[in-house]
Each structure stands twice: as structure tokens, then as C-alpha cells.
């Protein structure tokens, strides 16, 4: 546009992802074409929704029960699903918790979203001002939730059983029922988890960055820490990605506990996604920086005994900092320190003080050259600050996000790039690995 100054801004980018992975992500992004969905246009026909033989009119919401098992005898394990049917056309988004029954961040975040603060007229999830359909499923694995267990009653892991089978074991039948009634027609899925028993996770999004629609979903969520990972076999994320459905897993906190900051980041992230998709009014919040990481390592106990942990999940470590000390009541006077092998972030930390040699004490994300950038965003206790955990979300534009990519790799292969970003060509410039000089310019 002549006469109009185009805003330019320097964004620090670093690529230390293994070359092959980096290429796969770049190729996937380059080949990605945004979905063209004419049925989401404002003028498209938008009818009442039929779900489990219940009618949900445009601009309304309703809680419907979905049985986990299709049986005429015995418990069907009905779970509540609250369906918001907006007044205008748009995509269908699933927000769910407690696929693992003892992981309470999701149920709590979903419960917040279903509170009148959000659902009343003028609230963020007021169906009158909503486009598309939002399905909130606070507790997917209700039998596990009731028995405070990760698993379904047959002892199997639901998140290793998707897309399931109607004739296989109980858990796979449940997976099949969930998949066919709730998942396979979704346009995106946000799956809330916590660390498994014995550990606590800092808030983070797990996503396959080579699945472009999921990559965009992860960005829209607005979390500071995004871990690139291929989804485990049988996970909902994998089944969804294989069918082309974008899906992210959010991890925050620990099993059997409620950590309010992890809960807040979860529901703020879900709202960010809905805002980014223009399904609800308002602008999505953006973090001050974004850490894209792939590759991490477990710090393991070298000896057995009692573990004294000095840091929490999300603590920024300097090389040589003591993470934990192991002592043994059977060998008084002896102790062993576990130290950070280099600068990095404790993305997960053990909460169970009993250790034997080889047990993971923490999940460590080496930061290589980016520790100073990340170090600028820690609080007095040395923990990474998450914007969404604070009182009010900090509103930022996408272009103000400092993005770094971290991979544990041999530093000889590492490339360090400080690039000038043309805001309208962010993805293109991101793919550019030629070093460019620092500069700030108007054009």
C-alpha cells in the first residue's frame, strides 16, 4: 500500500532441530493448504444440531450423555458432554479432559469453561455470539476418574487404544465408541493431560510439528513451551492426526493434584484457540516468546534412596546446579547430587521421594545457546513465567512473539540464525537458514 509504513520487527530465531526433522517440518508446512470449508461461511445453511438423538438449536447449549459402552445390560458408563451450538456456521472443536482418570487439570479447566461466568449472555462461550460448535467433555474416562485411576477398569490405557475396535477388549471398545461418536467428525481436538503419577509437568503443548494443522493449533493455544513429538501409538493425538484432524495435547501439573496455574493456562489456551478460529469474539493472547523444542533427556538417579528435590517443574537450570540429592537411611553420611548437565529447563520433575538407580528424577530440556533468552522470562524462584498463569492475559500480536527452536543435538551441526522478519512472510523466513545480519527497518 503506497504511503503506508509497513511495521517490521526483528525476531530472534534459532534452528537446532536435526536437519532431517527440520526439513520434514518445512516441507509439510510448504505443502499445507489452508482448509477451504464453504460450509463455515456466514451465508451457509446452519441447522439445529442432532447429537445422540438430542436437538441443540443454533445459539444454545445443552449437556448430553454419551455412553462409553454400547450395551443393553450392565453399566453403559454415560459421560456428560456439553455441546455449544453457535448461532453461525463454523468448525467443530472438542475440548476434553481425563482421558487418564487421575489427571485433574482437564476436568478442572473444563469445569471453569462451563461455569456461568463463561456461558452466560455476554460470556466468552455465550452460544449466541459463537460461530461453529464446541463440545466440552470434562471427564472422558469416568470409571477411572471415580476410582482415581489412570486406566479403565480392565487395567488398560485408553490413550494407547485409539481408534479402538467394537469387538476387542473393553478399553478398545470404549475408544471406538468415543472415536465414532465424538472424535472422527471434529475439526480440531484439544486434549488436556498432566504428568503421570510420581512426576509433575510444567505447562506445555505436545504436538507433531510436521502436521501443519496441528502446528497452527499449537500456536493458537498460545503456550510458551511447545514440544515437537510424534504421538505415541494408540494415542488420540495419533489417531486424529492420521485422519487429518489437528490435535494437541496439553500437559500441566501432576496426577491427583490440582494446580491452579496449570488449570488457568489450560482454559485460557482453549479460549485462545476459539478466538484464533474466530469462533468466539475477542483477540487471542500471545506469549512473550515461544520455545519450540524437540528432544529432551531424562536425568536418572545413579543410586537408590530418598530423593530430596530442590527445584520445581519449569525451573531454569544453569550447568552444574543441583537438581536433587539422594541419600539413604541405610548409609548415613553419604549422599549423591544430581546436577544439571548443561543450561536447560526442568520440564518435568519427580514428586515421589523413593528412588532406585535408573529411575527418572527429571525431564530436562537442554537450551544450548538460548538460555539467555529463556532466562529473561523467569521469576525470582528461577521458574519460567507463563503469561496465561498471571491475573489478566497479556494481549500481544502474533508478530511480537520471539520464537526459538531447540533440539538436543551435537553443537557442530547446530545453526544459529538471527533473521529479519517480514511480518507477512513469517513462515517463509522461518524456513530460511542463511544467516542474516541484525537489522531493524521500515519499508
Nearest in space to 63 (alpha carbons), one of 47, 77, 84: 84
Please answer whether residues 191 and 158 qualify as being in contact, where contact means their C-beta atoms are separated by less than 8 angstroms.
no
Contact 188, 246 (CB under 8 A): yes
Please, is 118 exposed, middle or buried when counting C-beta atoms within 10 Å of its C-beta (0-12, 13-18, 19+)?
Answer: middle
Nearer CB in complex with Zn ion: 338/347: 347
Supply the minimum distance, in Å, between the C-beta of residue 173 and Zn ion. Answer: 20
Q: Which is nearer to Zn ion, 254 or 386 (CB)?
A: 254
Helix or strand (DSSP H, E) at 432: none
User: Exposure of 34 by Cβ count < 10 A (0-12 exposed, 13-18 middle, 19+ buried)?
Assistant: exposed
Q: Shortest Cβ distance from residue 195 to Zn ion (Å)? A: 8
Question: Cβ distance 235 to 256 under 8 Å?
Answer: no
d(CA 214, CA 20): 19
Closest chain position to Zn ion (CB) = 193
* Residue window 403-442: x/- pattern of binding to Zn ion, with contact defined by CB under 5 A: ----------------------------------------
Q: By CB under 5 A, which span of 54-62, 98-106, 336-344, 353-361 interacts with Zn ion?
A: 98-106
Give the residue ranges of DSSP H helices in 330-431.
371-375, 426-431
Which helix (H) or strand (E) segment holds residue 176: the answer is: helix 170-178
Q: Cell numbers at residue 321, please?
A: 546446579
Helix, strand, coil percentages in the chain from 3-state DSSP, rounded to 5:
25, 30, 45
CB of 331 to Zn ion, least distance (A): 36
Answer yes or no whether residue 100 interacts with Zn ion by CB under 5 A: yes
If the CB atoms of residues 88 and 193 are measured against Zn ion, the closer one turns out to be 193
Shortest distance (Å) from residue 395 CB to Zn ion: 31
Distance of closest approach, residue 79 Cβ to Zn ion, in angstroms: 16
Q: Which of positions 172-231 make contact with Zn ion (CB under 5 A)?
A: 193
Between 149 and 418, CB nearer to Zn ion: 149
238 vs 290, which CB is nearer to Zn ion?
A: 238
* Cα–Cα dist 87/16, whole Å: 45
Indicate the residue among 193 and 199 with the shorter CB distance to Zn ion.
193
* Cβ 236 to Zn ion shortest distance, Å: 10
Total residues in contact with Zn ion, by rule CB under 5 A: 3
Q: Report, in Å, the least distance between residue 219 CB and Zn ion.
A: 22
Nearer to Zn ion by Cβ, of 141 and 294: the residue is: 141
Report the interface residues with Zn ion, using CB under 5 A. Answer: 100, 103, 193
Amino acid at each position: 500500500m503506497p504511503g503506508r509504513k509497513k511495521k517490521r520487527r526483528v525476531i530472534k530465531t534459532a534452528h537446532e532441530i536435526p536437519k532431517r526433522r527440520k526439513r520434514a517440518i518445512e516441507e509439510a508446512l510448504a505443502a499445507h493448504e489452508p482448509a477451504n470449508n464453504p460450509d463455515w461461511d456466514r451465508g451457509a445453511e446452519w441447522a439445529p444440531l442432532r447429537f445422540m438423538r438430542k436437538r441443540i438449536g443454533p445459539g444454545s447449549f445443552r449437556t448430553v450423555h454419551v455412553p462409553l459402552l454400547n450395551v443393553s445390560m450392565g453399566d453403559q458408563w454415560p459421560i456428560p458432554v456439553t455441546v455449544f451450538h453457535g448461532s453461525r456456521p463454523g468448525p467443530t472443536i472438542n475440548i476434553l479432559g481425563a482421558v487418564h482418570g487421575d489427571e485433574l487439570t482437564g476436568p478442572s479447566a473444563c469445569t471453569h469453561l462451563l461455569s456461568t461466568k463463561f456461558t452466560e449472555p455476554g460470556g466468552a462461550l455465550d452460544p449466541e455470539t459463537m460461530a461453529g460448535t464446541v463440545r466440552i467433555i470434562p471427564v472422558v474416562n469416568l470409571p477411572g476418574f471415580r476410582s482415581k485411576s489412570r486406566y479403565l477398569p480392565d487395567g488398560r490405557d485408553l490413550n494407547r487404544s485409539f481408534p479402538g475396535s467394537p469387538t476387542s477388549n473393553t478399553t478398545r471398545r470404549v475408544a471406538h465408541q468415543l472415536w465414532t461418536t465424538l472424535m472422527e467428525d471434529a475439526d480440531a481436538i484439544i486434549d488436556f493431560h498432566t504428568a503421570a503419577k510420581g512426576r509433575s509437568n510444567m505447562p506445555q503443548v505436545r504436538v507433531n510439528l510436521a502436521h501443519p494443522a496441528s502446528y497452527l493449533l499449537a500456536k493458537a493455544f498460545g503456550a510458551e513451551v511447545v514440544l515437537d513429538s510424534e504421538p505415541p501409538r494408540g494415542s488420540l493425538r495419533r489417531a486424529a492426526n492420521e485422519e487429518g484432524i489437528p490435535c494437541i495435547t496439553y500437559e500441566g501439573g501432576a496426577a491427583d493434584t490440582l494446580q491452579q496455574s496449570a488449570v488457568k493456562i489450560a482454559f485460557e489456551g482453549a479460549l485462545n484457540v476459539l478466538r484464533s478460529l474466530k469462533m468466539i469474539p475477542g483477540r487471542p493472547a500471545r506469549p512473550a516468546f515461544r520455545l519450540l523444542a524437540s528432544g529432551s533427556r531424562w536425568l536418572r538417579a545413579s543410586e537408590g534412596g530418598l530423593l530430596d528435590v530442590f527445584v520445581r517443574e519449569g525451573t531454569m537450570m544453569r550447568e552444574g546446579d543441583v537438581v536433587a540429592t539422594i541419600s539413604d537411611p541405610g548409609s548415613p553420611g553419604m549422599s549423591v547430587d544430581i546436577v544439571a548437565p548443561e543450561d536447560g529447563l526442568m520440564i518435568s520433575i519427580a514428586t515421589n521421594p523413593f528412588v532406585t538407580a535408573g529411575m527418572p528424577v527429571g525431564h530436562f530440556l537442554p537450551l544450548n545457546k538460548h538460555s539467555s533468552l529463556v532466562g529473561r522470562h523467569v521469576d525470582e524462584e528461577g521458574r519460567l513465567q507463563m503469561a496465561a498463569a498471571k491475573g489478566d492475559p497479556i494481549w500481544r500480536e502474533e508478530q511480537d512473539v520471539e520464537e526459538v527452536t531447540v533440539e538436543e543435538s551435537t553443537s557442530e551441526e547446530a545453526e544459529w540464525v538471527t533473521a529479519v522478519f517480514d511480518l507477512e512472510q513469517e513462515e517463509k523466513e522461518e524456513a530460511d537458514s542463511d544467516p542474516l545480519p541484525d537489522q531493524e527497518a521500515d519499508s
